[in-house]
Every structure is written in C-alpha cells, then in structure tokens.
C-alpha cells in the first residue's frame, strides 16, 4: 500500500474510532471562540429577550429558596403572581454554575459567567446527536459534515449563544438525541435514547403544541422504519422496554397545578 492510501486509511480509522472525542474537541473550540466573540455581551449580561430574563428570574428564585415544584413568578401579575410552565431541569446547570463561581467572584459575576457558559452545554449534546445520526444514516466517517452544517446554520446556532439561557438550546439537544435514537440499528437502545430525549422535551414544554406535534411525528416516523416495529405508540414504548409509568414520568417533574393540563389529550372534534 502506497503512502497516500495508507494515510487515508489511518484517517478513516481515526474518524470512525474517535468520533466522540473529536466532536467534543470541536465543541471546546467553538466554546472558546463564542466566549471570546461574545465577551462584551457576557460582561454586560446582555440577555437577548424576555425568555432569557424570565429564566434568570426563575433561577434566582430557586436559589433564594423557592420550591422545586413552585413555578409561580411573583414579578408577573403581582401581588399573586403567575404560574408559568417551564421546567426546573433547565435551571439546574445555570444554578449550579452560579453556586460554583459565587464564592470566588461574587453573585453578580457568577451570574454573568453562568449565563455565558450554560447555553453552550447543550451544544455538545446536539453535536454528538447529529454526528451519531450522520454516522448511522450516511457513513461512519461522514460525521464532520454534520458539525460543519450545524455551525453554518446561524438561526440554530443562535439558540446556543452565550446569554441565551432559555430552554430552546436544550430542546434542540434532546431533539437531536431523539433523531439519533430513531435511526439506531439496535432498536431497543434507540428506543431508550428516543425516550430520554422525549421525556426531557415533554418536561420542559409539555403544554407546547409544537412539542406534542414533534412527539407524534417521532412515533409516525418510527412506525415506518421497518417491519419489526410495532403499530402504535404503546407498542413502540413496549419495544423500547418502558411502560406507562415511564411515559408519565415527566408529569412528576412538573408543578402540580398544571400537571393535568399537560397530561390531558386535546379534545376530540
């Protein structure tokens, strides 16, 4: 084997064997660039819109002692406040970073650092999910194309920018895992991956009609992916090794007053 051919084989083997490590290296490089490029926004805590401001208000309330299941925002419709529908799960990385940095730099700077870094965390999951999807559907060595196309999708990348602390980046991350699970040749493993992604999606915005539609599309796509699949969402859930209790798990992660609203099917007719 001549030298160029040997180098090509070695490159192919490296891309196939170490794709997760290489994807994470690409993510670290992107994190470094975006933190540098958005340094002024991070310094001035330039939250982009009302969703980002409301997320930070929810995190502050959690750190000030508000209960996990208490999602009432007293800054809305005072004095009684307003019960919002967002999940606490997205609060965790932001709150965790604030608690980590606060003893060293103070509360204000800790919030700036957390809001600058937290939105970049789901980008790593999104990159791995897309890379896995391309590996399964295209070629084991074609996954770098997914990273290139993702970086070029400016509207999508805006959801992962520093100070974009609302839930959209995490929704995209879980959606990428759902798609990766759908195309997994090992159906049981793919079902579990898809289930994890949908549970997080459902918990964050289970009352959102768009996500209900995404979940139904997931089931319809899965139904057409091979003769070995079930014929209903219940069959798919059984095939993935989860039961009704697992499917209702997101309900227990949410606040009680809105649980019934999110669990109920839309009225027929």
In tens, the pLDDT along 204-219 reads: 543 344 444 455 555 5
How confident is the model at residue 222, as a pLDDT?
52
Q: Which helix (H) or strand (E) holds 193?
A: helix 187-205
In a domain, 244, yes or no: yes
Q: Do residues 55 and 86 lie in contact, with contact meaning Cβ atoms separated by under 8 Å?
A: yes
Does 173 fall in a domain? yes
Residue 224 lies in a domain: yes
Q: Answer yes or no: is pLDDT of 196 > 50.
A: yes
pLDDT (mean) for 227-247? 44
Enumerate long-range contacts of 27-30, CB under 8 Å, 24 or more apart: 27/120, 27/123, 27/124, 27/127, 30/120, 30/123, 30/151
Q: Model confidence at 26, in pLDDT bands (50, 70, 90)? A: very high
Tens digit of each residue's pLDDT (9 = 90 or more) over 79-115 = 889 888 888 999 999 999 999 999 999 999 999 999 9
DSSP, residue by residue, 19-85: HHHHHHHHHHHHHHHHHHHTHHHHHTT---SHHHHHHHHHHHHHHTT--TT--EETTSSTTT-EE--
Query: Could you tell me the pLDDT band of residue 152, with boundaries at 50, 70 and 90?
Result: very high
Q: Which residue range is the domain that position 147 belongs to? A: 120-259
pLDDT at 242: 44
User: How many domains does the structure of the chain reveal?
Assistant: 1
Look at 69 and 243; give whichever has higher pLDDT. Answer: 69
In a domain? residue 7: no
Tell me if 55 is assigned to some domain. Answer: no
- Res. 52: pLDDT tops 80: yes
The whole-number pLDDT of residue 257 equals 47
What confidence category does residue 201 fall into, taking pLDDT thresholds of 50, 70 and 90? low
In a domain, 91, yes or no: no
Rounded Cα gap, residues 73 and 84, in angstroms: 7
Instruction: State mean pLDDT over 249-269.
Output: 43
Q: Which residues, other chains included, contact 9 with Cβ-Cβ below 8 Å and sequence gap of 6+?
A: 1
Domain annotation covers residue 174: yes
In sequence order, what DSSP letters do the residues of 108-155 get, joined into one string?
HHHHHHHHHHGGGHHHHHHHHHHHHHHHHHT-TT-HHHHHHHHHH-HH
């Amino acid at each position: 084997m001549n030298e160029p051919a040997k180098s090509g084989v070695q490159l192919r083997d490296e891309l196939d064997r170490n794709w997760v490590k290489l994807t994470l290296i690409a993510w670290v490089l992107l994190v470094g660039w975006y933190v540098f490029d958005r340094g002024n926004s991070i310094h001035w805590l330039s939250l982009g819109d009302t969703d980002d401001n409301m997320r930070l208000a929810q995190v502050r309330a959690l750190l000030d002692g508000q209960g996990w299941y208490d999602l009432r925002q007293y800054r809305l419709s005072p004095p009684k406040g307003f019960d919002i529908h967002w999940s606490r799960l997205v609060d965790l990385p932001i709150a965790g970073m604030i608690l980590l940095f606060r003893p060293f730099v103070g509360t204000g700077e800790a919030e700036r650092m957390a809001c600058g870094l937290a939105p970049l965390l789901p980008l790593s999951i999104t990159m791995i999910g897309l890379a896995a999807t391309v590996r399964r559907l295209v070629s084991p060595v074609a996954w770098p194309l997914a990273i290139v196309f993702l970086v070029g999708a400016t509207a999508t990348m805006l959801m992962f920018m520093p100070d974009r602390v609302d839930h959209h980046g995490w929704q995209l991350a879980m959606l990428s895992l759902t798609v990766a699970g759908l195309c997994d040749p090992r159906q049981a493993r793919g079902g579990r991956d898809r289930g994890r992604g949908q549970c997080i999606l459902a918990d964050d915005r289970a009352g959102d009609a768009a996500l209900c539609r995404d979940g139904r599309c997931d089931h319809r796509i899965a139904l057409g992916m091979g003769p070995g699949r079930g014929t209903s969402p219940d069959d798919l859930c059984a095939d993935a090794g989860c039961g009704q209790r697992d499917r209702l798990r997101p309900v227990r992660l949410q606040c009680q007053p809105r649980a019934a609203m999110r669990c109920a099917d839309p009225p027929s007719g």
